Structure 1
């Protein structure tokens, strides 16, 4: 956990205490680790595939950091491509007229 917090601070330039959920994969993309701070302590979750690899997921601009919505993380965890799902928009403005 401490090393992933260090990666958040030094490599990603993000505060691991900010309430965001950080998702990391290993070089072979056979496992994902999810780091989250809940206000009292850190949670570390890991999923390792028994067969295959997770899809390579980077932002459309090729950056290492990508923002994911909750439903996109769910798709990633079942080895889907979060950017290929055809989901409804997260927020839809309403007309006041």
Structure 2
């Protein structure tokens, strides 16, 4: 089943990406430039130079899943404070895709349960 959720890890690619690339070409980019394994279940996020198109690449059992969205109007904005090859939270990804720009954000501490 094709699904993304808050338990996934999202990695934003630092550079601009040619959106003509398919799943296997993007997985090569992940392996060669990001030095990560594209088969580990992480979701890799790519933006084009004009920030009008976004692609998310993920390995699920049996093959790659490639999510793509092209904006007819407007642009995507990288979340504030993201470094190169940043790990995004689910909330940051949703805000970026929906076009919501947060001017000031304060995240209050929360307890998290970690399974070992």
3-state DSSP class of the match of 1:47? strand
Query: What RMSD, in angstroms, separates the aligned Cα atoms of the two structures?
Result: 2.6
1:11 matched residue in structure 2: 33
3-state DSSP class of the match of 2:54? strand
1:29 matched residue in structure 2: 51
Moved over 3 A (4+): 56-60, 81-89
Long gaps (5+) in structure 1:
none
1:74 matched residue in structure 2: 94
Higher normalized helix content (fraction of residues): 1
Higher normalized strand content (fraction of residues): 2
Q: Which structure would you say has the larger RCO, counting Cα contacts within 8 Å and 6 or more residues apart?
A: 2
Judging changes above 3 Å, is the alpha-carbon distance between structure 1 residues 45 and 88 closer, same or farther for their aligned structure 2 residues?
Answer: farther
Judging changes above 3 Å, is the alpha-carbon distance between structure 1 residues 20 and 30 closer, same or farther for their aligned structure 2 residues?
Answer: same
Answer with 1 or 2: which has the greater Rg: 1
